[in-house]
A and B are shown apart, each in its own frame.
Chain A
């Protein structure tokens, strides 16, 4: 994998921010897009734009082919058994909400359990809180160990025969840990529960095989993996999708409509009411082609190496706290500098052209567990380099000096 060659394919990277070459280290929030994705979206609008599943005309067929072709691509990307197990959504949030609002509400009753972890992103937490409120189900949390990892003994203790749903992120957007979702799925199934995997932070960075994980649901977002915003998908086991009721109603999703009663299309189309994000799907397909060509294993290796390098270089700094374990992490490092608030860190870095995230990262319960109100996070992708890590390190040194001077 030649990173410098790959960088050339991302137009946005070649600009100066505040007089410095851009160093984009906010990839866990959203990734940048290669030329091929941008042109796929453009080409769709320039050549093929029409509505899907209805036009008898040529453009209608082309648009439908683009959209359904993208579904097949997503299915292969996740190694699903068939394309009909893929529901297009706006992203991970919408996908998880679909599982919560449709599946979970129909199976959860008073005293049933939904098992989560305290490190979940708000989008894999609040939908379940809402289900619990509506159904009387109970939320239970697999505790975290001191280093932010999950112990299987705790998983065994938390999941019981009352558990209906287990929902866990495969990779933490704060701690960078990779959770043992395959092992957790096995425990869930032993107790008759379904396993939901939030793949927002894993799908962009590592090979995902939903059949190997043996999960029942898997949600991800296109925009974090070189695709456009506004498109993502939910993988769901076919038998579950067939049982589930739609949560949005209208055009596209119906079979027969009467004045008082209507019936739905088969899954996955019954979950896709309204005109879908067709150009987004075309862009997502191009993103999958791009990632597949580069190779997910290669990307994974590159990022792990970069993260270890960043972890070690940052660890050498005085007054820095890094969250999460050194080993078994993906390409992101979350940290705090003593006596400098992360917003101030991010502002100073921005004046040097370096983009990092500062805040609670949509993980307020985890922040409380870490006993901080906010943290700074540098997150890497296939186009980041060790030189950029060095730029980060030296800018952080200057941040410390600036604030040390200003405060001291």
Chain B
């Protein structure tokens, strides 16, 4: 196992400079999720209009994998329809299972493919996507 497989430069960049971190005033849905086994938590705010995710913001606490994944997810789904967002969530699940997946929509996500080799960390990476699913499906 190589650490560089897991902690790629793109991931560390999102961890250090998270995109869409914070809250918004606009009307939105808020989803709060915890990872009870390790204490990670995320609060995701989604502004959905006419079936399109107009804005996404998050706050939370967690490791580099969970927070960088949240940063990437919010970037990836902004401006997409709910259906497109769910398709990406499914693709992300496949990525975590070790499948070859390409994200032409948002390539940064592919940096998380290494998480698959660290089974204990998959839950960290999927926390934000689970929050997204909850928010979009409601």
Contact = CB atoms under 8 A, between A and B. Distances in A.
Do A and B make up one complex? yes
Interface in B91-129: 118, 120-121, 124
Give the interface residue-count category, chain A: 10 to 19
Given A341-B63, A367-B39, A407-B16, A348 B3 contact: yes
A402 B66 CA distance: 18
A373 B121 contact: no
Nearest to B124: A343
Contacts of A367: 39
Contacts of B65: 343-344
A359 B39 contact: yes
Interface in B74-97: none
B64 interface: yes
Nearest to B60: A373
A344 B63 contact: yes
A308 B121 CA distance: 31
Contact of A351 (B1, B9, B64, B66): B1
Given A341-B62, A341-B63, A359-B38, 15 more contacts: A18-B1, A341-B64, A343-B66, A344-B7, A344-B65, A347-B118, A351-B2, A351-B3, A360-B38, A360-B39, A373-B62, A374-B38, A402-B7, A406-B7, A407-B12
A364 interface: yes
Contacts of B37: 359
B39 A347 contact: no
Which 9 A-B residue pairs are closest in the complex by CB-CB distance?
A: A343-B63, A341-B63, A360-B39, A373-B61, A359-B38, A406-B12, A374-B39, A344-B63, A373-B39
A403 B50 CA distance: 42
Given A373-B62, A407-B16, A347 B121 contact: yes
Given A348-B3, A351-B1, A343 B15 contact: no
A347 B62 contact: no
Contacts of B66: 343
Nearest to A351: B1
Interface residues of B, number: 24
Nearest to A19: B1
Interface string A354-369: 0000111000100100
Contacts of B16: 407
12 contacts: A344-B7, A344-B63, A344-B65, A347-B3, A347-B118, A359-B39, A364-B39, A373-B39, A373-B41, A373-B62, A406-B12, A407-B12
B108 to A, nearest CB: 16
Contacts of B120: 347
B76 to A, nearest CB: 22
Given A343-B63, A407-B15, A402 B39 contact: no
B44 interface: no
Contacts of A347: 3, 6, 118, 120-121
A18 to B, nearest CB: 5
A364 to B, nearest CB: 7
Contact of A343 (B2, B9, B41, B121): B121
Interface string A329-341: 0000000000001
A348 B3 CA distance: 7
Contacts of B7: 344, 402, 406
Contacts of B41: 373
A343 B68 CA distance: 14
Interface in A1-52: 18
Contacts of A351: 1-3
Nearest to B2: A351
Nearest to B37: A359
A358 B38 contact: yes
Interface in A341-389: 341-344, 347-348, 351, 358-360, 364, 367, 373-374
A60 to B, nearest CB: 41
B26 to A, nearest CB: 28
